[in-house]
Amino acid sequence: MTKRFLEQHHVNFIEHNIDEQPEFVDALKQEGFKATPVVKLPNGSAFTGFRPDMLKQLA
């Protein structure tokens, strides 16, 4: 749902699919994330899950 929201609102993003790029799993774990999706914002903050309230800031 997060990816669909970003696409529908024409927000540019870089996707790292952990099924296809498992090297990103360790990096996310080191940053303290335990769930996906992880969305990293331009201001340096990040969140997990589908968060329309946060995503609207990007749209």
Pairing relation of β-strands 46-48 and 38-40?
antiparallel
Per-residue H/E/C for the chain: CHHHHHHHCCCCCCCCCCCCCCHHHHHHHHCCCCCCCEEECCCCCEEECCCHHHHCCCC
pLDDT tens-digit series, residues 25-53: 999 999 999 999 999 988 889 999 999 99
pTM over 0.75: yes
pLDDT tens-digit series, residues 8-24: 999 999 999 999 999 99
> Are the CB atoms for 48 and 33 separated by under 8 Å?
yes
6: amino acid identity, one letter = L
Residue 59 has pLDDT above 90, yes or no: no
Residue 4 has pLDDT above 90, yes or no: yes
Average pLDDT, the chain: 93
